[in-house]
Amino acid sequence: ADLLDSSFRFVYKDPNFEGPEYDLWFRDTELKTTGRLFRNFETITLTWNTTIYQDTQPETAELAKTLQLNLYGPAGDYSLTGSAIFNFKKCTYDGKWRITRWKDESHL
């Protein structure tokens, strides 16, 4: 929760929709969804692979990475690969970097 800025949004392509549009959710939904994910799998590994690009400014940054997510548990074992673009901003009151946007580019 401390990594996500209060303005955080997760942007993703809905696999059930055939158009080019993306959908999104905000920080509260991200925290609930991630919590459910962690509770439903016994082992979760996330491996950050190639950096596609990065742009760092004094108060903001953007980073694109490839990733592999492995989920293991009673519900089954899943392995997903993809890429994501992250936007960050440096907080003015504590100097910490927080994620403002995570755009899933995986198109599963």
**pLDDT tops 70 at residue 107:** no
This prediction's pTM: 0.83
Q: State the amino acid at position 94 in one-letter form.
A: D
Q: Give 17-63 pLDDT, tens digit per residue.
A: 776 677 889 999 999 998 988 889 999 999 999 999 999 999 999 99
Which two three-digit tokens encode residue 72? 């293991």
